[in-house]
Amino acid sequence: MNANVKSALVIGALVVLGAAVGAGVFVTTSSDIAVWFVIGGIPLIIVGGIALYVRGVVSRGGTSEQQYVRKRARAVAQEFQRTVRDVNDLSETYGDWEFTADARLESVAGDFRAQGVAFDLGSGAFDLTKGVANADVQAFEELSVEVDRLEDDVEAEFRTFADDELSRLADAIDRLEAVDLATRDAAIDEPADDAAIPACRDAVDAGRAIADETIETAIDTVREMKRGGQRPDDAAAIEGDLDAAVDALDRHEYGTAVESVLEARDRLRDQFSGSFDAERDAVLALVDAVDAAGVAAHVDAEYLDAVDAVESAVTGMDSALDLSEVSRRRADLRRTCIEMVAAMERDLADEAQTLRRAELPPGYYTEPGIVDEDFVDELERIEEFDRFTDRWRDVAGSLADAVDTATTKAAVVDAYDDVAETIAAELEASGEVTDDDLPVRNAEEFLGLYYRRNESVELDPNVPVLRVGDVETNDLTVEIAYERGGAERTATLTLSGAGYDETATIATRVAGTTTFTDVPTGSYELSGTPGDDAFAPIERSVRVDGETTVSVEFAEQSLRERVCSDTSADMDDHLSELRPRLEELYDADGYVSTAMELPVRASHAPCLLAVWAESDGYDATETSDGEIVVFERDRLERELTNVVRYNLESGDRLPFDELERNFLTAPVPRSVIRDAVADLSGEHSVTTTDDAIEMK
């Protein structure tokens, strides 16, 4: 029931009750008493009833008020919880940051406790106790304001910490740069004046990452100095300083880490003050070894540039105070030299694999024993720099020689077929070939490989020169056959190689034979064209060693194989897109041909129609003019059947021109028409002549 209606009914009931009581008093007593009752009693009854009703309503509404207080208590407590956990997280992550107003956290937690909210500041957890039912809503509003102020103070203090921490990091790196132990690759950026905690954390983390990398580089540089040919007397103390620097770095105590690195450097400098020249000479000795090893042609230019940069820098140093820089440059040079060895190892392995796969004659290439050896691991284990230089010189020289040989041999093998044709032609023309006759690098290598692959020549390596020797000759008989018979075709066969190049022809309907005479012993390429586009050309290698007979067959090839051989585009991929247009043309004319305007370039049209016909079950043929026609054989036969039944009588003759013009839909070749008529001859007495069809 509506609250207003309910209230009106209650008041109305009280008025009725008062009137009833007044009437009773008037009846049972004197009129004066009734008058006084109406004046004073009825209002008292009404006011008292309303008071009792309102009290009940208020009593029932108390539950909603408690729920509101409890809800507000939870919301404010969650705000304080986030602040407490932020403080705990920052304190745990950044051990050297401490919130200076911890007492305020305790105070606020006490205020919450007074309002029935118990807080655990260690975990940030809280609990609403029974006492929250008696809490003051206004107290939670005041607590919310206090939590906001507390959160702002936390952010401000952490921002100050971030600024101070980044300043300390920059100072630490500056100290290392001042003594040439490090070079800063990236700037340390301070957060904005109003940056929030996440932005400050990102700035501190980025700064620490830069400092970590920089100090670690300084530690490695000092360690490299300690690895020199002259060992310090207190190497253990120096290593202890460096270990202490590493430990301090792990604790993010960057100032302490830098102090330890500088202490180790100072110990080394004191002991190595007289060894600067020796250190510099050791670096330059490795530079000279690189120049003398002959690796320039087999490694990337960036490695050689790095070596030149080290040489330039070290040559310009003339003071023991540059010892740390010499050591750093030595570390760079050492690393570059190892990378050069690794690169040559990979190149040698690749070229050797290429030569393994090639069919090489005996004696052309002998794989060196260093293939697949791991020199990188061996060099990395050598501590003494002078010994490293000596070993690197031996390894690099051996690898350079092996890579040079393998690369040259592999290049010759790769280009041999083309150069061999030039050699064979020159031998045939003049009987000899010198290295000056070949416009290629490493001409003597090509002559040597040709000599090893051809028994018919002699090699004089002192010139060098190839000459035709006394070679036995033989006859080669070639038997050809077509996959199916037909009209007479003329096949053309060519035998070439080793200075021999002859061509023969065979005219036949299905099979034939020819003989190539006086063929020198050796390997040759036999190629043949069938003289009929319905068959594919052949190409094969033959070996002539004594009287030899080989057989070849011209296999029938599909229309698609013939017309798509020179088309790079894959028509199958485009057919789904072009099919609707082709079907539209077919529905309109009853056939599709390359003479029509097709949705592809003219050079691709024959292949498109051949692929479409094969894919969708149509028939396709090629006219004498090279036109491709897609049609339906069944439709052609129906049209011919109708002509025979309804247009020809016994003894009648119908010229092909008239037949094609008046009765046939597709402009197919007459050979196709003759084949179709032949299929009808079993049912109808019809035949074909040179220029017509006739009824018997």
In a domain, 217, yes or no: no
Q: Is residue 281 pLDDT above 50, yes or no? A: yes
- Structure tokens given for 677: 């008529």
* Same domain assignment for residues 543 and 566: no
* Same domain assignment for residues 548 and 494: yes
Residue at which a domain ends, from 15, 35, 66? 66
Among 58-62, 69-73, 485-489, whose mean pLDDT is lowest? 58-62
* Same domain assignment for residues 690 and 570: yes
Q: Is residue 541 pLDDT above 60, yes or no? A: yes
Q: What is the pLDDT of residue 635?
A: 92
Cβ partners under 8 Å of residue 647, min gap 6? 654, 663
Q: What is the pLDDT of residue 66?
A: 77
- Structure tokens given for 510: 């299905």
* Same domain assignment for residues 617 and 670: yes
* Same domain assignment for residues 547 and 575: no
Q: Is residue 60 pLDDT above 50, yes or no? A: no
Q: What is the pLDDT of residue 441?
A: 86
Under 8 Å between Cβ of 459 and 492: no
Among 11-20, 151-160, 351-360, whose mean pLDDT is lowest? 11-20
Q: What is the pLDDT of residue 62?
A: 46
The DSSP annotation for 399-435 comes to: HHHHHHHHHHHHHHHHHHHHHHHHHHHHHHHHSEEEG
The sheet carrying 653-655 orders its strands as 653-655, 692-695, 686-688
Q: Are strands 473-482 and 548-554 parallel, antiparallel or unpaired?
A: parallel
Q: What is the pLDDT of residue 507?
A: 92
SS3 content of the chain, % helix, strand, coil (to 5): 60, 15, 25
Band of residue 15 on the pLDDT scale cut at 50, 70, 90: low
Q: What is the pLDDT of residue 290?
A: 92
Q: How far apart are CA 26 and CA 35, in angstroms?
A: 8
SS3 92: helix
Q: Is residue 646 pLDDT above 70, yes or no? A: yes
Instruction: Identify the top-confidence range among 91-100, 215-224, 651-660.
Output: 651-660
pLDDT-above-70 percentage for the chain: 85
In a domain, 691, yes or no: yes
Q: What is the pLDDT of residue 587?
A: 92
Q: Is residue 161 pLDDT above 50, yes or no? A: yes
Residue 343 CA neighbour count, 13 Å, CB half = 17
- What is the rounded average pLDDT of the residues 666-672? 90
Q: What is the pLDDT of residue 39?
A: 66
- Structure tokens given for 525: 């390429």
Q: Give the model confidence (pLDDT) of 364-376 as tens digits.
A: 788 888 888 889 9
Q: In which residue are the tokens 């692959």 written?
A: 453
- What is the rounded average pLDDT of the residues 104-126? 87
Domain extent at residue 32: 3-66
Q: Are strands 432-434 and 117-120 parallel, antiparallel or unpaired?
A: unpaired
Q: Is residue 21 pLDDT above 80, yes or no? A: no
Q: How far apart are CA 322 and CA 280, in angstroms?
A: 10
Q: Is residue 588 pLDDT above 80, yes or no? A: yes
* Same domain assignment for residues 580 and 691: yes
- Structure tokens given for 241: 């300083």
Cβ partners under 8 Å of residue 443, min gap 6? 435, 436, 437
Under 8 Å between Cβ of 158 and 97: yes
Residue at which a domain ends, from 528, 557, 586? 557
Q: Is residue 184 pLDDT above 50, yes or no? A: yes
Under 8 Å between Cβ of 436 and 423: no
Under 8 Å between Cβ of 196 and 151: no
Band of residue 359 on the pLDDT scale cut at 50, 70, 90: confident
**Of 571, 661, 647, 575, nearest to 616 (Cα)?**
575
- What is the rounded average pLDDT of the residues 657-685? 87
Q: How far apart are CA 486 and CA 624, in angstroms?
A: 17
Residue at which a domain ends, from 557, 583, 611? 557
Instruction: Identify the top-confidence range among 263-267, 299-303, 371-375, 518-522.
Output: 299-303
Encoded amino acid at 130, one letter: K
Q: What is the pLDDT of residue 696?
A: 79
- What is the rounded average pLDDT of the residues 304-331? 80
Q: How far apart are CA 211 and CA 205, in angstroms?
A: 10
In a domain, 82, yes or no: no
CATH of the domain at 523: 2.60.40.10
Band of residue 320 on the pLDDT scale cut at 50, 70, 90: low
Among 76-80, 144-148, 431-435, 471-475, whose mean pLDDT is lowest? 471-475
- Which helix (H) or strand (E) is 16 found in, with range? helix 3-28
In a domain, 334, yes or no: yes
Q: Give the model confidence (pLDDT) of 222-262 as tens digits.
A: 877 666 544 555 677 888 888 998 998 888 888 899 999 88
Residue 60 gets the label, from left (phi > 0), alpha (psi -120 to 50) or beta, of alpha
* Same domain assignment for residues 393 and 500: no
Q: What is the pLDDT of residue 376?
A: 92
- What is the rounded average pLDDT of the residues 128-134? 83
* Same domain assignment for residues 534 and 598: no
In a domain, 258, yes or no: no
In a domain, 529, yes or no: yes
Band of residue 591 on the pLDDT scale cut at 50, 70, 90: very high
- What is the rounded average pLDDT of the residues 304-323? 80
* Same domain assignment for residues 594 and 548: no
* Same domain assignment for residues 287 and 359: yes
* Same domain assignment for residues 358 and 395: yes
In a domain, 242, yes or no: no
Encoded amino acid at 65, one letter: E
The sheet carrying 592-593 orders its strands as 592-593, 628-631, 619-622
Q: What is the pLDDT of residue 45?
A: 67
In a domain, 430, yes or no: no
Q: What is the pLDDT of residue 178?
A: 83
* Total count of domains within the chain: 4
* Same domain assignment for residues 659 and 588: yes
Q: Is residue 140 pLDDT above 80, yes or no? A: yes
Q: What is the pLDDT of residue 35?
A: 62
